[in-house]
Amino acid sequence: MLRKAEVLSLPHFFTPTQYAQKLMAALLLLLLAACSAQKPQPQQPPAQTAQAQSAAALQRWEAKGKLGVRSPKENGSANLTWQQASGNYRIHLSGPLGAGATMISGSPTGVSLQRGNDPAVFASNPAQLTEEIMGWPLPVSEMFYWVRGLVAPGAVSGEQRNAQGQLLRLQQAGWQLDFGGYQSVGPYQLPTRIKAATNQAAGPVSVTVVIKEWEPK
């Protein structure tokens, strides 16, 4: 004897409408969970970004230390005092390398150099002026950035940083830079030693800046 086809019934405690609502809610939860898992997590800013932002804020300072030079025309060192007020600076060299006393004063409009009691000589480029008068170039425009552990404006290559984002090596403006240790100066992490080397027509030149005291203004 044929039996009537059995019809699949829903659990007695759910009506068809309630069952559909429960099913839609479950599907919605699954969809939200999948979207949440695929959402990219925000990336932490690289350490060098925080380092650069901090050091870039330092625009006024007095730094004291030593400047050493090796070149075909010069081999010696001098005491260094660097006073910086935004775009204006005064770099005082004293000792054998400075021939007693040398003052390099500059602003965005130009630079002057005075040795001892000699008349001051003016120019637009500090590296060219120091090479003409002292026999070796001092890239003051770029050093304004390098002494703070920053990359100067312009093309760069061979940039290397440590795990804290601090510069270790850099090639820029015709110079190979090697940065020594860093020191904490208030909120800043600043290099203690920078060696800059370049090749000139007359031969290789090496300039080493050692900062022993930083006084942010």
| pLDDT of 13 strictly over 50 | no
Residue 75: alpha-carbon gap to chain centroid: 30
Can you spell out the DSSP letters for 78-98? Answer: EEEEEEEETTEEEEEEEETTT
Q: How confident is the model at residue 74, as a pLDDT?
A: 87
Where is average pLDDT lowest: 27-36, 102-111, 189-198? 27-36
Rounded Cα distance between 76 and 87, Å, is 28
| pLDDT of 18 strictly over 70 | no
Q: Where are the domains of the chain?
A: 58-216
pTM assigned to the model: 0.75
Instruction: Report the run of H or E that residue 61 belongs to, with start and end.
Output: strand 60-70
Rounded Cα distance between 149 and 12, Å, is 75
For the chain, the residue count is 217
Specify the fold of 58-216: outer membrane lipoprotein receptor (LolB), chain A (2.50.20)
For 24-70, how does the pLDDT look when each residue is reduced to its tens digit (9 = 90+)?
A: 665 555 555 554 445 444 444 444 456 666 899 999 999 999 999 99
- The whole-chain average pLDDT of the chain stands at 83
Q: How confident is the model at residue 143, as a pLDDT?
A: 97
Residue 126: alpha-carbon gap to chain centroid: 22
DSSP reduced 3-state for 10: coil
Instruction: Report the run of H or E that residue 169 belongs to, with start and end.
Output: strand 167-172
DSSP reduced 3-state for 187: coil
